[in-house]
Amino acid sequence: MNIAIVDDNKTNLLIIEKILHMAGYSNLSMFSSAKELYRFMGMDSVLASESIADLILMDMMMPEIDGIEACRAIRAQERFRDIPIIFVTALGDSNKMAEALDAGATDYVMKPINKTELLARIRSALRLKYEKDWHRERDKRIQYELSLAKQVQQNVLSKPFANDQVQVTVKYVPSSELAGDFYAWYPIGANRFGIILLDMMGHGIASSLVCMYIYSFLKDTLTGISELDGVMQELNRRMMQLHWADNLMNYYFTAIYLVVDTDARTIEYVNAGHPAGLALVDGKVQKLDIGCCALGLFDHIQVTTGSMTYEREARLVLYTDGLAEWMSGDPDEAADRIMQGIQKTEAQDADALFQQLQPDFGDEPVPDDMCLIMVSVS
Mean pLDDT of 200-206: 78
Band (pLDDT 50/70/90 cuts) for residue 364 is low
245 — phi, psi (to 5°)? Answer: -60, -35
Alpha helices in the chain (DSSP H): 10-22, 34-41, 67-75, 94-103, 115-156, 205-224, 228-240, 321-327, 331-342, 350-357
Q: How crowded is residue 11: how many other Cβ atoms within 10 Å of its Cβ?
A: 8
Q: How crowded is residue 66: how many other Cβ atoms within 10 Å of its Cβ?
A: 17
Mean pLDDT of 282-301: 93
> Which DSSP symbol is given to 274?
P
Band (pLDDT 50/70/90 cuts) for residue 126 is very high
**How far apart (Å, rounded) are the C-alpha atoms in residues 257 and 375?**
12
pTM of the predicted structure, to 2 decimals: 0.73
Mean pLDDT of 95-116: 92
pLDDT of residue 362: 61
pLDDT of residue 175: 75
Sign of CA dihedral 85, 89, 92, 96: negative
**How far apart (Å, rounded) are the C-alpha atoms in residues 142 and 133?**
14
Tens digit of each residue's pLDDT (9 = 90 or more) over 327-360? 777 888 888 888 888 887 667 888 888 888 876 6
- The SS3 assignment for 90 reads coil
Amino acid present at 94: S
Sign of CA dihedral 337, 340, 346, 349: positive
Domains of the chain: 3-146 (3.40.50.2300), 157-377 (3.60.40.10)
